[in-house]
Amino acid sequence: ADYVKMITGAAQMDGAILVVSGADGPMPQTKEHLLLAKQVGVPNIVVFLNKEDQVDDEELLELVELEVRETLDTYEFPGDDVPIVSGSALLALESLIENPTDIPGENEWVQKILKLMEEVDTYIPTPERDTEKTFLMAIEDVFSITGRGTVATGRVERGVLKTGDTVELVGLADTKNVTVTGLEMFQKTLDETVAGDNVGVLLRGVQKDEIQRGMVIAAPGTIDPHINFEAQVYVLKKEEGGRHTPFFPGYQPQFYVRTTDVTGKIAAFTADDGSPAKMVIPGDRVKMTVNLIQPIAIEDGMRFAI
C-alpha cells in the first residue's frame, strides 16, 4: 500500500527532497526512492542529511555526502550538482515549539531548514503550468462536509476551474455530470483554481459513495473512459529494480495510472519488427495490448507504471 501511495504521489511531483540519515548514510530504501523517482519522472532532487547532531566527526558527514552523490549518479541524477544541506529536523522542530515567536535564523538548526528551503526554491525551477488546455484533475481523496456536499481533493493536472462550472466524473463507474459549488486550497476559499494547485473541489449532485480515488474530474466531453488500450513499454531489468523473470500473454498485473491502480490482463505482445512476441524478458521494449477489469480515464501519450 505504501508503494502504491509513493507511485501515485511521486508521479505528480515537480521536485523532491530526499532525506538521508547523516549518521547512517544511504539505506536500501534510499535507493528504492531514487529508482521510483527516476521511473515516474521526478525531474529534480535536493538532499537533506538529517541527524547531523548525532555525528561527532565532520569527516564522517563528508563521507556520507560523497556516498549520496555517488548514489545519485547511479540513478542518473546529477550527483555533482544536486544541493545537499545537513541539519537536524528534530532539533529545529523542538526549537520552534519552545520559541514559536523566534526570529527566523536565531537558532542554528532552524536556520539549516531555512537554507534547505532556499536551495529548493533556487534549484527546483517553477514549472510552466498548462493552463490553456481543458481542465483535468485526478482525485486523490474524497470526504463529505455535513450540509455542504462532497469534496474531492487532488492536484490540478491542466487547465482552469471556476466555481459554478459543470464537470464530468470519469473512470471506474458511469460518467456523471456534476456542478462545482466551491474551491478551497490550504483552508482558503478560491474563485478559481489552475494547473499545479493542490485543491479541494466541492461538488453538488454526487454522493460520497458515487465518487472515489482514481476517478478524474474533467471538462465535459474532453476525456473518455477505456477498458482496452495499446501501449509501448520498457520492462525494467533486475539491476534496474525490475523483474527477475519473463512473463507471457495472459499475465495480470496492476496498472498504476495517475492516482489509481487497476488490474489488467495483457492480451498480446508485439515486437519492434511488428511480429507477435510469445514472451517478454526484462530489458525488452514491446507493444502490448491490455484489457482492464474497470474503465479508467486514459488518453494518447500518457505515462503509467506496471
Which of these, 182, 197, 200, lies nearest to 142 by C-alpha position? 200
Q: What is the rounded average pLDDT of the residues 252-263? A: 90
pTM: 0.69
Boundaries of CATH 3.40.50.300 in the chain?
A: 2-123
* DSSP assignment of 25-54: ---HHHHHHHHHHHHHT---EEEEEE-GGG
Strand partners, 290: 229, 266
Report whether CATH 3.40.50.300 matches the domain 2-123: yes
For residue 99, is pLDDT > 90? no
Q: Which residues fall within 8 angstroms of residue 69, CB to CB, at 6 or more apart? A: 79, 80, 82, 84
Q: Which residues fall within 8 angstroms of residue 295, CB to CB, at 6 or more apart? A: 171, 172, 225, 226, 227
pLDDT-derived band of residue 228, with 50, 70 and 90 as boundaries? Answer: very high
Give the count of beta carbons closer than 10 Å to the beta carbon of residue 271: 14
Q: What is the rounded average pLDDT of the residues 18-39? A: 87
pLDDT-derived band of residue 296, with 50, 70 and 90 as boundaries? Answer: very high
Q: What per-residue confidence (pLDDT) applies to 186? A: 85
Q: What is the rounded average pLDDT of the residues 114-132? A: 86
Architecture of domain 136-218: Beta Barrel (2.40)
| Distance, CA of 4 to CA of 295 (rounded, Å) | 19
Q: Kindly report the average pLDDT of the chain as a whole number.
A: 87
- Find the radius of gyration of the CA atoms of the chain: 23
Q: What is the rounded average pLDDT of the residues 275-303? A: 88
Q: What is the rounded average pLDDT of the residues 112-126? A: 91
User: Could you tell me what percent of the chain has a pLDDT over 90?
Assistant: 46
Boundaries of CATH 2.40.30.10 in the chain?
A: 136-218, 225-297
Architecture of domain 225-297: Beta Barrel (2.40)
Q: How far is CA 208 from CA 38, 51, 142, 151, 258, in A?
A: 35, 43, 7, 8, 20
Of 4-13, 89-98, 257-266, the range with the lowest mean pLDDT is 4-13
For the chain, the straight-line distance linking the first and the last C-alpha, in angstroms and rounded, comes to 15
| Block residue for cell numbers 489509481 | 260
| Distance, CA of 287 to CA of 182 (rounded, Å) | 42
Pick left, alpha or beta for residue 47 (phi over 0 → left; psi -120 to 50 → alpha; otherwise beta): beta
Q: What per-residue confidence (pLDDT) applies to 36? A: 79
Q: What is the rounded average pLDDT of the residues 33-40? A: 81
For residue 4, is pLDDT > 60? no
For residue 105, is pLDDT > 70? no
